[in-house]
Every structure is written in structure tokens, then in C-alpha cells.
């Protein structure tokens, strides 16, 4: 079966750095997405990786290793507004997104 694993919850301090990991086993791979979802709101797109390596976008970076079935989202200079759930999703061989359950990130002052 297809599976996306990410930690259920993480806690970090304002101003710090946090890394959210995602491992996947899917039938085929056509890219990996990270979305942010604030409580009670819709998911919004953060990043896309299809090749191995690091993609940097401001305070957020996303890394992919296809051989290891592994990705992480790195958030720097954490702000209180970064408190949200972070969803990892993989596009499979049928070009459908398989979603992880999300990681709830709690930022403390």
C-alpha cells in the first residue's frame, strides 16, 4: 500500500529552527509537495520537490532524497504565525496526491 509518515506534533520556540520530516512509500513518484494549514482553514502551497536536493524559499526550505523516500521541511526564524499543521503529499504514478496526516507545529514564545 501507499504510505506517508510524518510526526503527529512538534513544539519549537519562537526564533528557533525546526525540521519536519516526511517518509513515503508510494507506487511511483512524480514529486513531493508541502502545504501549510492553519486551524480551521484550507491548505496552502509551500513547496514542491521533484529532484534530489534542497529548495530554498525565504525562511522555508524543503529537501528531497528519492532513493531514501525522504523529505524534510525546514523552517527558520520561527514566528508565532508559523503555528499550523504542515502536510506532506506525494504525487504517485497516477498523478494523484497521497497525503500524510500532517504535523501540528506549536510555537512557544
| Interface with another protein: number of residues (CB under 8 A) | 22
Q: How far apart are CA 23 and CA 106, in angstroms?
A: 21
SS3 81: helix
Contact set for another protein, span 6-35 (CB under 8 A) = 30-31, 33
Give the pairing type, strands 84-91 and 32-37.
antiparallel
Contact set for another protein, span 77-106 (CB under 8 A) = 87, 89, 91, 95-102
Q: Does 69 bind another protein (CB under 8 A)?
A: no
* Shorter beta-carbon distance to another protein: residue 4 or 105: 4
Q: Where are the beta strands (DSSP E) in 6-58?
A: 9-13, 18-25, 32-37, 44-49, 53-57
Question: Which of 44, 52, 56, 106 touches another protein by CB under 8 A?
Answer: 44
Amino acid at each position: 500500500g501507499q504510505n506517508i509518515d510524518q510526526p503527529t506534533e512538534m513544539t519549537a520556540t519562537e526564533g528557533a529552527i525546526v525540521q519536519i520530516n516526511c517518509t513515503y512509500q508510494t507506487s511511483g513518484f512524480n514529486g513531493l509537495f508541502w502545504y501549510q494549514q492553519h486551524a480551521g482553514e484550507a491548505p496552502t502551497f509551500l513547496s514542491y520537490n521533484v529532484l534530489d536536493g534542497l529548495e530554498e524559499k525565504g525562511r522555508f526550505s524543503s529537501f528531497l532524497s528519492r532513493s531514501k523516500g525522504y523529505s524534510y521541511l525546514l523552517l527558520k526564524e520561527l514566528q508565532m504565525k508559523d503555528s499550523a499543521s504542515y502536510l506532506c503529499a506525494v504525487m504517485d504514478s497516477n498523478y494523484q496526491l497521497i497525503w500524510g496526516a500532517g504535523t501540528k507545529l506549536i510555537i512557544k514564545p
